[in-house]
Chain A
Amino acid sequence: GAVVSQHPSWVICKSGTSVKIECRSLDFQATTMFWYRQFPKQSLMLMATSNEGSKATYEQGVEKDKFLINHASLTLSTLTVTSAHPEDSSFYICSARNGADGNQPQHFGDGTRLSIL
C-alpha cells in the first residue's frame, strides 16, 4: 500500500514551453503533498507544500508564478513549470503522507527528470 505515482518520468522540451508534472496517491488520500527539487549529487530541496482545496505554501526563494501547484483532489497534485528555461532542468520529486498522523512517513513518487533545451 501507500503508492505514489508520478508522471511523466522524463520529459524533454524546448525553452519557453510549460511542463506539467502529476503526482497521484494511488491507494490512499493525501490532503498534503510536497514537491521537491534535486540537483545532481545533492539533497532534496523542498519547493512547496501542496494542500488540497487551498493555495500551496512556497518555500523562500521559490517563485510561485514560475512553479504553479494545483491540488484539486485528495489524490492528485500537479506542478507546472511555466515558460521553462535551461536553468529549470532538474529532477523533481513529489511525496504524500498517508494519514494525518505525523508518525506516518511520506511516500515518494519516482521523480521526473526535466530537461529544457
Chain B
Amino acid sequence: AQTVTQSQPEMSVQEAETVTLSCTYDTSESNYYLFWYKQPPSRQMILVIRQEAYKQQNATENRFSVNFQKAAKSFSLKISDSQLGDTAMYFCAFTSRDDKIIFGKGTRLHILP
C-alpha cells in the first residue's frame, strides 16, 4: 500500500526565516509524482510545487524548493524568506498510475510576525 507520512503536525517560525517541512512516502512504483499542496484558512487547495520521480533535479518555484531523495523516499519542502501569507496547512501528496492522490496528514505552519 502507498502511504505518505508527515511527522510534524505543527510548526512555527518567524517571518523571513527559512523552514523545512518533512515528508516520507512508501511505494513500490517506479514512476510517480509528488506534490506539496497548501491549504490556507479559506480551505482552498493550492498547488505549491510538484516533482516527477524520474527527474533527479529538485523542483523549485520561487521561494519554495524541494529536497527529493528517491532512494530514501523523502520529499521535504523548504520555504525561504517565509511570509505571513505562508501560514497554512501543508499537505504532501503522492500519485501514480491510478491517478489517486494519497495525502499525508498535513503540517500546520504558523509564520509569526
B103 x A43 contact (CB < 8 A):
yes
| Chain B CB within 8 A of A71 CB | no
- Complex: how many Å from CA A67 to CA B31? 32
Interface of A, secondary structure class, is strand
- Chain B: interface size category: 20 to 34
- Complex: how many Å from CA A85 to CA B94? 32
The residues in B between 60 and 106 inclusive whose CB is less than 8 angstroms from any CB of A are: 91, 95-97, 99-101, 103-106
A43-B91, A102-B33, A105-B50 given; A91·B100 CB < 8 A: no
Query: Which residues does chain B contribute within 8 Å of A105, judged by CB atoms?
Result: 33, 35, 47, 50
**Separation in Å of the B69 CB from the closest CB of chain A?**
20
| Chain B CB within 8 A of A75 CB | no
| Chain B CB within 8 A of A110 CB | yes
User: Which of these, A43, A103, A111, contacts B43 with CB under 8 Å?
Assistant: A111
28 A–B contacts, CB within 8 A, in A order: A32-B99, A38-B43, A42-B106, A43-B91, A43-B103, A43-B104, A43-B105, A44-B45, A44-B91, A44-B101, A44-B103, A46-B100, A46-B101, A49-B99, A91-B43, A93-B43, A93-B45, A97-B99, A102-B95, A102-B97, A103-B50, A105-B33, A106-B101, A107-B47, A108-B37, A108-B44, A108-B45, A110-B43
Which A residues are closer than 8 A to B by beta carbons?
A: 32, 34, 38, 41-44, 46, 49, 91, 93, 95, 97, 102-103, 105-108, 110-111
